């Protein structure tokens, strides 16, 4: 393949290098564009701009492919678990049994937050959004570990394990605080997702009976959300990391980016849609008819995906576990009935099928969390827990790249040209 691209500006042609990824995608290297031509590119939203090279995650939206470190997401979902997948994302290879055991022990060792941090929870009103608490508490946690700023490479493993483990502890504690319930501490004999359910729903002296299918569904949901290439929050983590900010500060910034309704709030939007349909006394049939009418203003949430133009490979995986959880729990919930009706109609309706509007991962994950009993304002927090390994992996990649520079995008200025200051009395 020709390794040069031509760019014509005002009749003058400039040659630009190209870079080809391991899966064949081609990028035009414009790192020297301004120096060569005096021009810059404009790509609002960065939809056509590669901000980095990365060895972590590969997505082919047209073919419905998602791979972590070269491993297909369906194979990982079937054969692996969240903790093993987290290790894969961060360190690049599937761990040996010894390494996986050591990593799991690290997560157990660091699962307790500093006891003084409990006082911070008291400073938040009961109405505080869990994502606000999560981002603030991750930042606060960094102050208890001054070594975050010293000998980073030597202590990275400890800080990474601490962040993955403590984010679920912080999330569970914030939930208990909002409900006015006593704090439940994690247990060293429980697995990652089991421990989260225990901290969320047990009572003092009365541990919850953890359903293995529910724990598996939660673990699978975390695994499926563990990374997703250069999305808004991951790009934010990398940008903050480029300034050499510490791991906790970078992750906290990722939480804030994820909080946005256009990013991490998609599964919450699904439940809000279901609530609206239920409030109107509809089983979903009338709603889907209205969706087809572009003048109705109705939007179908949880179907289709910006990246996946055909189908979301994660949705195919989580649907099976969703059906199993609903059958196991036998939950009587009109919203879940509406969700199943929407799925049934949309999968058989040519209007939605022809437009590739299939249920995505947000649709099924929202249903699972609703069935488990996780409140809607915690949905994005669950997303953040799952995404933490991907953020850490990207942070590590930035820190280990000798060519890494601080992110500093350019802009096209469209404001006023030079103006003179006028005294206040002379202004119209």
- Partners of 28 in the β-ladder: 18
Q: Which residues are known to be catalytic?
A: 305, 362
- Partners of 26 in the β-ladder: 20
DSSP strand pairing (71-72 vs 65-68): antiparallel
**Which among 264, 259, 254, 258 has a CA at the least distance from the CA of 398?**
254
How far from 21 is each of 53, 58, 132, 285, 409, CA to CA, in Å?
8, 10, 38, 45, 23
Q: What would you report as the CA-atom Rg of the chain, rounded to the nearest whole angstrom?
A: 24
325 vs 367: CA distance, rounded Å: 10
Q: Is 187 exposed, middle or buried (0-12, 13-18, 19+ CB in 10 A)?
A: middle
For residues 379 and 129, the answer to whether their CB atoms sit within 8 Å is no
78 vs 381: CA distance, rounded Å: 24
Task: List the structure tokens of 280.
Answer: 């109107």
For residues 191 and 222, the answer to whether their CB atoms sit within 8 Å is no
**Which among 404, 331, 390 has a CA at the least distance from the CA of 67?**
390
Helix (H) or strand (E) holding 18: strand 12-20
83 vs 103: CA distance, rounded Å: 8
Helix (H, G, I), strand (E, B) or coil at 343: helix
Task: List the structure tokens of 106.
Answer: 């690290």
b/e per residue 370-393 (b: at least 16 CB within 10 A): bbbebebebbbbbbbbbbbbbbbb
Q: Is 48 exposed, middle or buried (0-12, 13-18, 19+ CB in 10 A)?
A: exposed
414 vs 428: CA distance, rounded Å: 23
Instruction: Detail the DSSP E strand segments found in 41-140.
Output: 57-60, 65-68, 71-72
């Amino acid at each position: 393949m020709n390794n040069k691209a031509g760019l014509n500006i005002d009749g003058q042609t400039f040659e630009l290098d190209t870079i080809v990824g391991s899966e064949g995608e081609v990028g035009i290297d414009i790192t020297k564009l301004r120096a060569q031509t005096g021009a810059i590119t404009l790509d609002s939203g960065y939809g056509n701009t590669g901000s980095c090279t990365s060895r972590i995650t590969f997505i082919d939206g047209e073919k419905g492919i998602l791979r972590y470190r070269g491993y297909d997401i369906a194979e990982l979902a079937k054969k692996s678990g969240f903790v093993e997948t987290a290790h894969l994302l961060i360190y690049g290879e599937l761990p040996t049994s010894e390494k996986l055991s050591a990593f799991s022990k690290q997560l157990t060792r660091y699962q307790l937050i500093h006891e003084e941090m409990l006082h911070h929870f008291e400073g938040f009103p009961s109405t505080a959004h869990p994502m606000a608490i999560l981002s603030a508490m991750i930042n606060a946690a960094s102050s208890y570990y001054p070594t975050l700023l010293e000998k980073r490479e030597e202590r990275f493993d400890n800080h990474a394990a601490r962040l993955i483990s403590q984010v679920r502890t912080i999330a569970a504690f914030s939930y208990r605080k909002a409900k006015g319930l006593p704090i439940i501490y994690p247990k060293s004999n429980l697995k990652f997702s089991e421990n989260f359910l225990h901290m969320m729903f047990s009572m003092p002296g009365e541990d919850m009976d953890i359903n293995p299918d529910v724990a598996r569904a939660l673990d699978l949901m975390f695994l499926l959300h563990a990374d997703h290439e250069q999305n808004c929050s991951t790009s934010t983590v990398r940008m903050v990391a480029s300034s050499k900010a510490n791991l906790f500060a970078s992750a906290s910034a990722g939480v804030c980016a994820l909080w946005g309704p256009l990013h991490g709030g998609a599964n919450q939007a699904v439940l809000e849609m279901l609530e609206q349909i239920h409030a109107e006394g509809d089983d979903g049939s009338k709603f889907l008819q209205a969706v087809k009418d572009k003048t109705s203003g109705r939007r179908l949430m949880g179907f289709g995906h910006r990246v996946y133009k055909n189908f979301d490979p994660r949705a195919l995986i989580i649907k099976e576990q969703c059906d199993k959880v609903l059958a196991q729990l036998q939950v009587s919930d009109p919203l879940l009935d509406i969700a199943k009706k929407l799925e049934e109609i949309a999968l058989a309706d040519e209007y939605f099928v022809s437009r590739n509007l299939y249920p995505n991962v947000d649709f099924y994950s929202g249903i699972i969390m609703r069935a488990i009993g996780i409140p809607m304002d915690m949905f994005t927090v669950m997303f953040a827990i799952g995404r933490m390994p991907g953020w850490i992996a990207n942070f590590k990649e930035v820190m280990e790249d000798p060519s890494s520079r601080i992110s500093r995008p350019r802009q096209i200025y469209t404001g006023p040209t030079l103006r003179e200051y006028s005294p206040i009395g002379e202004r119209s």
